[in-house]
Amino acid sequence: MSTTKKKTVTRPAGKSASSIASLEARIATLEHHIQSSWLLGEHFWKRAFAVVGHYISAMFAIWVGVLILVLISIVLAGVLAGVASIFN
């Protein structure tokens, strides 16, 4: 069995106190965002509508991407058909 030793890092007292304070501020901000999130709300219908909204947004983004690919394919097919008709 191998034993690993943790390296202890010594920091100046002022620097660690300010980093702890900044971490506490970040945690407070995250807690505020979590409390205002519909996905993590207390009410069932609020959570349900949040899930449906995310689903609709994701499907819209996917269909826009598919539509762009289809339109590019149609334009490319038209250009290739035009070029082929020139040489025939």
Domain spans, the chain: 12-41, 42-88
CA distance 76 to 84: 12
CB proximity list for 49: less than 8 A, separation 6 or greater:
38
SS (H, E, C) the chain: CCCCCCCCCCCCHHHHHHHHHHHHHHHHHHHHHHHCCCCCCCCHHHHHHHHHHHHHHHHHHHHHHHHHHHHHHHHHHHHHHHHHHHHC
pTM: 0.54
The pLDDT tens digits along the chain (88 residues) read: 555 666 665 555 566 878 999 999 999 998 888 877 888 888 999 999 999 999 999 999 999 999 999 999 999 999 999 988 888 7
